[in-house]
Each structure stands twice: as C-alpha cells, then as structure tokens.
Structure 1
Amino acid sequence: MSAAGVALMLGGAGIVLAASPAQAAEVSYRTECIPPPISGLPPVQGTTKVEITAPAEAKVGDEVEVVWKFVEAASKNPDIIDLEKDTVKPTGTLRAAGAQTADVAMEGSRTNPPIPKNSPMKLSDMKGKIKLTKAGEVTLTPDAYNINVSKPMSTDTKCTPKETVKAGATIKVSDGGGTSGGTSGGTSSGGTTSGGTTTSGGGTTSGGPTSGGTSSGGTTSGGGDGGRSDFPGKEVAVTFACKSPGPASINSKVTINAKKNGGSYDLVVKTAKGVMNSPAALPAGALKPSMAVLLGGVDKGTVPVTGPANKDPLEQGKPVDLPDMTGTYKPGASGKSTLSPGTLTIDVTLGGQKIGIPCTVKGSAAVSLELDTAAQPGGASGGDSSGGTTSGGLAQTGAEDNGALRALALVAGTVILLGGAVFTFTPWRRLRGIR
C-alpha cells in the first residue's frame, strides 16, 4: 500500500484527511481463543500476527482511519467443514494510549474466499476511525477480536491477548488549531449476533418415561405369550457419555415397551422429559434422536429405533424432550430375550450439514424388557432383517459413520460452528458436509 494511498484512504464529507504518509507496523502476540460453547472444545492457544496502518502525523481535530490487517490468524480452519465464500467476519478493538486514550472499534467486512478444511484462515482487513482531540503522541495497540461465521449457523469465537502487546502504530498529533473535542471511536463494534431462531419450544413433546409393568415377558417357552400382545418394560436409569461436541453426559430414565405383531414386536422407547439442553437455537425439523436397543439372553445384536424430528423451534440452553423412538424387533432365536438401552444418537441437520452425536451407555445398562421369543427367518441373530443388526452393530443408526463423526468432531455444534482465526473447534461433534 503506497504512503500516498493510505494517507488519502479516508473519504467522506466532514472528515479531515491526514496529510502525512501512513506507516504500518507488524505486531505478533500470543492469543487465546474461546470456541463457541456449542463446540465443546477447550480454549485454543495460538499466535496472532497483525499489521496496523495509520497516518504518521495528524493535527488536533483530524479524524483518521486506522487499518488492521491479519497477517496470520491464530490457527487454521480445522478438519470440520469447508467454509463458504463470504461467511466470515472479524471485529475487534484497538487500544489508544498516550496523548489520548480510547478504544477504537474495528470492523471487517464479510468477504473471504472459500476456506477449505486444514487451510489457513483468511480474514478481511478491519477498519476504524479515531478523532484526535489532544496534541502529542498517540499509540495504537491491537487487543481482543471476535470471529463470526454465518453458516451453517451464526457462531462466534472470541480471541484475547495472553501477553503484553506492543503498539502497532504511533500518530504524532500537532496542535493545528482544529476543533477539539469530539468522541473517539468510530464504527460501532460488531460481529453479527448469533443466529438461529429463538422462539420457545422444546422439541416434540414426548411422553416422559412410563413406569411400566414388570420386565418379564411371556411364560411359555418357544414364544408362547398366553394371548398377550402388550409387553410393558420397566423404567431403568441410564447414563450416556456423549462425544464432543455433545454434552459430556446425559442422565435419563429409559423404558422399552413392546407390542406383538405376528412373529415380531413393535418397540416404543421412551426417555425422560428434559433429557438434555438444546446445544443451539434450532429450527423445527433440525434435531432427531435414534437408539440401538441392545439384545441379550438367547438373542444378539441391536434393534434400531428412531424418533421424529422436533416439531417446534428449540431455544439454546433450554431443556429438550426427545420424542418416542420406534422400531421393529424380529427375534433371531427362541427363548428368553432381553432388551436394554444402547447407544443414543442425536442427529442435527442445518443448512445441508448433518451432525451425528453418539452417546454410549456408561457401564452396563439394566434390562428394561424380557420377552419369550420364537426365532423368525432373517431375525436379529440371523443378521439381515430390518429388525436388528448382528454383532451389536449400529449400521442403521448412523452412529458408526466415521464420515459423520469426523465431519462433526466441535458444533456445533449438536451443531455447529466455527471460530475465527482460531477455527479449531469442532461443532456438537464434527459437522458432516453434505453437498
């Protein structure tokens, strides 16, 4: 940037332009960046390198423009998602000291090239204005900054210096007889407000756990049920450990109920109300639960059950009631079979991005239901029935989809999101990019 060009960078009615050449200085400082809460990631330590450009000289009464250029962001865009063009916006603060003290609000534009995974962050230059009110030297020092990403949902990463930062520029202000006074500052600090709908709603209301009946099933071997068709399970307490960026754990009561349907059983799995808090403001249809019901006794494998997506928008941090999850169990063996809660998966879909957060059972889950079953062709132990998978697999739940987990690893980010110069977070566990 030429000295003359910078000196005349500012254009606007009523603004006095600095006549002296501009000066630019690079500053490097250790930085700590806090990923969005939804990411579940710890703070990131990195180094920020910026170049501050300001007029070398000016007069009292001048309002001058200052430019903050990111030479190097604190970290790369991690292996989460490719950031789209024009989705990243930085804002920050310059500290003025010396002849006058002020916080200069700096704001960049939401203009960036596409930023692939595992590549350096590209942040636009930030600009701000300061009106000089006193003669003397005024130093300008970079301070905290914020990175806002607008897609697939609005998230912010806040970065602050972790050491004393050197001044990036010095303006020599002479008493030119100009008007004094006026407030320092300039463009209002920014960053877009985090997005997502905020209307209340708690997911689809599902009945809380039903304390249903005893866990024993029919009493006649070989699948005899004495004419019974309904088999209520008992309520069992379960602790689920979720992968980042999901909640650390979920504690819930789970009940597995069954209704005989020919040689198979229609299952209904209920969880407690308010089983988890929404990781973000989510629109209707964004969050959907599923579970792999674990088989035991004479049978083996898992039975996938799924629930519908939330009917109403969800507020960030508010309790969510998971809807009832349903599926069909086709027995693969004859005798006493047990059904217990297994891996719970929370799928979040936003803006074409799908996030799968698996929550595994801590320890051994208690048996919720016991059935006296008769083997059916293609049943659970046999392997290829839609009613179950062999060897405890989760093929039909998506919980073992490494692509989904890698794509989510933060965000969500349940979701989503991404932090700025420090985009080293992983949304509610790695966003899956579905293009």
Structure 2
Amino acid sequence: MSAAGVALMLGGAGILLAATPAQAAEITFKTECIPPAISNLPPIQGETTVAITAPATAKVGDTVDISWKTVKAASKNPDVLDLNKDVVQPSGNVTVGGAQSGTVAVQGPRQNPPIPKNSPMVLSEMKGKLKIEKAGDITLTPDKYTINVNQIMTTETKCSPKETVKAGATIKVEGGSTTGGATTGGATTGGATTGGATTTGGATTTGGATTTGGATTGGSGGQTDFPGKAVDVTYDCGAVVPGGIKTPVTISAKKNGGAYALTVKTAKGAMASPMALPAGALKPSMNIKLGGADSGTVKVTGPANAEPIPDKAPVSLSDMSGTYTPGKTGKVTLTPDQLTIDVTMSAGAPPINVPCKATTSGVSLELDTAAQPGGSGTSGTSGSAAAAAGGLAETGASDDGGIKALALVAGTVVLLGGAVFTFTPWRRLRGTR
C-alpha cells in the first residue's frame, strides 16, 4: 500500500492528528549590524535571509514550537582568523502579529562547523515557544538577532531590520475560549546568555584594610624590600567582557634610592587559552592609585608572552613593573586600579586595547615615604606617575589618525561573529585566590 494510501486511511480513522508544519518561504530584509564597541567601527549594512517555521494550524491554549533558520547572515567571517567549531551562538526575536501580538524569543545552541576566514557565517537554528491565546490568523515575522562569539574573547554583534519585514509564517487558530492576554509565551529562551561565564559576583574587598610589611622605613636606610598583600579586585570591562573579571593582585616594592621599584602580580596559570595564541599576543598594564599622603597614579606594565600559547594551555598575565617616586612625605597607600590588556594577533598590527575598570579593590601596600624632587603628588605628576588621582590609563589614540588606524585593523577582525579580540571572562581567573 502506498504511503499516501496509509495516510488517507489513518486520517479517515481520526488517527492522523498532528498539525502539518507550515512551509515558510524565505524572507530577505535589509539589516544593520552594530559591531562590538571595542572595534570603533561604524554600523554594517547588509541583508539577512531567514526562514520561519511553525505549525500551519493550532487551537487556543496550545503551545507551539517556532523555529528560525538563518539562510544567510548579513556578513562574512573576516579575512583574519578561522573560527573554531562550536564557538558561535545566535539568539533573536520573532514578532507576533495578527490576531495575537507580542514577541517570541528564540535561541540556537553554540554549534557551528569551523568557519574559515572570509567565508559566510554559519548560525545554528534558533527555537522558541508560543502559547496560542486568541483565535484567528497569527503571523510570525523575524526581527532583531544577536551573534555571540566565544573565541579568545566573548563578543556580541547586534543586528536589526532596517525596513518593514514580511511575515515569515502564519498560524491559523481555531476558535474557542481565549485567555484574553496579548502576551505570547516562550519569551524566556532569548539571547540572555553570552558565551562568557557568569560573574562570581562582587566579592567583598579588603577595602582600606591594614597593609602588610613595609609600612615602617620607607624614608631612609634600613628595610629595602616591602612585600604587599593580595587583594581581590573586581574589574568591569563593559560590554567587552560580560560579567567582568576578578583576580587577586599583589603590589610589592623595592627601595632604590628615594624611589621605589614596583612589581605587580596577578593570578598565575588561572586561565586556559581557548585557542592557540602567537608570541606577543597579550601584554598587560595597570594603574596603581596612590592614597594617604600622596595622590595620583603610577602605571606599571608587563611584557607580552614570549612564547606561543597552545590551545587549552594555562595562561598567565606577566608580572608588571614600574617606578614610584614619592612627591609627598608620609604614609602612602598603593591600590590596584584599572587593568588594560593589549591584544596583538599578528606582527606589526596595532594592538587592540581592552580596558577594565576596577569597581572593587583594596590597599595592597603602604609605604612610609620621603618626598623626592620631581616626584608625583597633588600638584602634578612626572615620570611614571599618571595625572589625576584615580585617573584611568590612556588606552587608545586621541587623534583621528590613530582611531582610524585601529579601526582599520579591528575592522578586519570585528564583524559579524568575528569580533574575537574581547577578553574571555575566564572563570578560573575570576575565582582564583
């Protein structure tokens, strides 16, 4: 017996009850995509092609599955870095119209084949659920979507239609008692997750805790080494690093004449490289905020990684060093402040700066200082001391030429799904004491 004959017999007997999925036509619409803030790039204009699938018929009270298949995203993976398998995760919204209104949030798994440079982005199928609340024809229209990439860093590129989009599917709903509410169901599966791990929360800091060791003889002979204590610092990197970073930081000093050579250490081996990194890819720097008798900031820097870092290998930020020349006499506190990491993926390319503001910190070291000529202080700074107290490090070019140069390099790296230079919020880094 033919398959068609079997279907007719079962249907006549009332056994074939499942609704037939709607065969949705592909919908193409003009799209504007906003690259991650770190790229300094203007919005990207392109086209997106989507197929929305849903049951052709339903009844009031049913909960139906909605799927979004991205046939074509609005941009390619740029010609800089191959994206690894399973690093891209899409999420989006489907607008509900007609007899019922609202929004269905859809999300796909972090699942993709390897995506070579300069090739189309491949997005997994996104799914969500809609509760049917009113009778009549319900239309489903693709709306905004987000592409999340978790490779080296976690980034989000947000895309939205720039023209009126046609409905991608229609559900015919049979009459019955309605629930009256116009809000759709299934609005919880959207793109709330962002590849990066959740934060460990704003852990309590040591505040202005009593400092260790070298709080006694900073001014004249005697003690020369002043070990600091580790303080937990929570960093807010904005949209660049969802959830931020948490790491213990220790500031130590060695007296050298009237100045102090500073050494700053963060957690060692506390993160795993999500991919192979070349030598020279990661270079850290940090602002140390002065308090007590002196004020201003001292910048410390560390060398880039000297050797390539294999995929999944432990990664440590190098120790940072700088010189503090006291501008005032008295007890001076040193507190970790802004952390900046320069990311350079190819020789000769301008680094992309990832600035992270310290939202919670604490005093790591206290020194008993004697003012030195040309030292830092409230009246001004010199040498390694930065400008105003609590100021943030300069992390990018202030002139248009520098910005354009950075944008040119970043533009080849940070497009749809290819913005791979935002730091991964490594779970172990944020949780290590």
The one of 326, 329, 337 aligned to 1:334: 329
1:343 partner SS = strand
- Specify whether residues 122 and 254 from structure 1 end up closer, same or farther in structure 2 by C-alpha distance, changes over 3 A only: same
2:247 partner SS = strand
Q: Is the 8 A contact 1:215 1:369 kept in 2?
A: yes
Q: 1:317 Cα deviation (Å)?
A: 6.3
Q: Is the 8 A contact 1:301 1:388 kept in 2?
A: yes
- Specify whether residues 378 and 159 from structure 1 end up closer, same or farther in structure 2 by C-alpha distance, changes over 3 A only: same
Q: 1:226 Cα deviation (Å)?
A: 4.2
Q: Which residue of structure 2 lines up, in the alignment, with residue 359 of structure 1? A: 356
1:244 partner SS = helix
2:337 partner SS = coil
Q: 1:348 Cα deviation (Å)?
A: 0.6
Matched residue count: 269
Q: Give the TM-score, by structure 2 length.
A: 0.51
The whole-number CA distance in structure 2 between the counterparts of 1:230 and 1:250 is: 30
The whole-number CA distance in structure 2 between the counterparts of 1:288 and 1:375 is: 32
Alignment of 1:286-305 (within 5 A): 286-305=281-300
Q: Is the 8 A contact 1:241 1:361 kept in 2?
A: yes
Q: Is the 8 A contact 1:73 1:120 kept in 2?
A: yes
Q: Deviations over 1:303-350 (max 9, x none)?
A: 100000012333566542111000000101001011111111111123
The one of 378, 385, 388 aligned to 1:388: 385
The one of 221, 224, 232 aligned to 2:219: 224
What is the RMSD computed on CA atoms of the aligned residues?
4.6
The one of 283, 286, 295 aligned to 2:278: 283
Q: Deviations over 1:191-234 (max 9, x none)?
A: 42799x99xxxxxxxxxxxxxx96242535xx534422111111
The whole-number CA distance in structure 1 between the counterparts of 2:310 and 2:242 is: 16
When structure 1 is superposed on structure 2, of 281-290 and 239-248 the one drifting more is 239-248
The whole-number CA distance in structure 2 between the counterparts of 1:142 and 1:217 is: 62
Quick check: 1:118 aligned with 2:43? yes
Q: Give the TM-score, by structure 1 length.
A: 0.50
Q: Is the 8 A contact 1:298 1:335 kept in 2?
A: yes
The whole-number CA distance in structure 1 between the counterparts of 2:404 and 2:247 is: 27
Q: Which residue of structure 2 lines up, in the alignment, with residue 428 of structure 1? A: 422
- Specify whether residues 238 and 384 from structure 1 end up closer, same or farther in structure 2 by C-alpha distance, changes over 3 A only: closer
Quick check: 1:192 aligned with 2:116? yes
The one of 340, 347, 368 aligned to 2:364: 368
Question: What letter matches 2:283 in structure 1?
Answer: K
Q: 1:366 Cα deviation (Å)?
A: 1.9
Quick check: 1:398 aligned with 2:323? no
Q: Which residue of structure 2 lines up, in the alignment, with residue 307 of structure 1? A: 302
1:344 partner SS = strand
Question: What letter matches 1:307 in structure 2?
Answer: G
1:314 partner SS = coil
Question: What letter matches 1:323 in structure 2?
Answer: S
Question: What letter matches 1:399 in structure 2?
Answer: T
Quick check: 1:419 aligned with 2:416? yes
The whole-number CA distance in structure 1 between the counterparts of 2:420 and 2:321 is: 30
The one of 269, 272, 283 aligned to 1:274: 269
Q: Percent identity among equivalent residues? A: 44
Q: Is the 8 A contact 2:38 2:354 kept in 1?
A: no
Q: Which residue of structure 2 lines up, in the alignment, with residue 144 of structure 1? A: 71
Q: 1:75 Cα deviation (Å)?
A: 3.3
- Specify whether residues 74 and 399 from structure 1 end up closer, same or farther in structure 2 by C-alpha distance, changes over 3 A only: closer
- Specify whether residues 190 and 323 from structure 1 end up closer, same or farther in structure 2 by C-alpha distance, changes over 3 A only: closer
1:259 partner SS = strand
Q: Which residue of structure 1 lines up, in the alignment, with residue 143 of structure 2? A: none
Unaligned runs of 5+ in 1: 1-25, 30-47, 50-71, 83-115, 124-140, 165-188, 199-212, 430-435
The one of 137, 140, 153 aligned to 2:81: 153
Question: What letter matches 1:287 in structure 2?
Answer: L
The whole-number CA distance in structure 2 between the counterparts of 1:408 and 1:426 is: 15
The whole-number CA distance in structure 2 between the counterparts of 1:426 and 1:408 is: 15
Q: Is the 8 A contact 2:288 2:336 kept in 1?
A: yes
Unaligned runs of 5+ in 2: 1-23, 49-67, 96-112, 120-150, 153-209, 424-433
The whole-number CA distance in structure 1 between the counterparts of 2:229 and 2:36 is: 44
1:342 partner SS = strand
- Specify whether residues 412 and 316 from structure 1 end up closer, same or farther in structure 2 by C-alpha distance, changes over 3 A only: farther
Q: Is the 8 A contact 1:266 1:326 kept in 2?
A: yes
- Specify whether residues 277 and 400 from structure 1 end up closer, same or farther in structure 2 by C-alpha distance, changes over 3 A only: farther
2:388 partner SS = helix
- Specify whether residues 316 and 145 from structure 1 end up closer, same or farther in structure 2 by C-alpha distance, changes over 3 A only: farther
Q: Deviations over 1:266-305 (max 9, x none)?
A: 0000111134454654311011111001111100011100
Question: What letter matches 2:260 in structure 1?
Answer: Y
Q: Which residue of structure 1 lines up, in the alignment, with residue 181 of structure 2? A: none
The whole-number CA distance in structure 2 between the counterparts of 1:306 and 1:122 is: 44
1:390 partner SS = coil
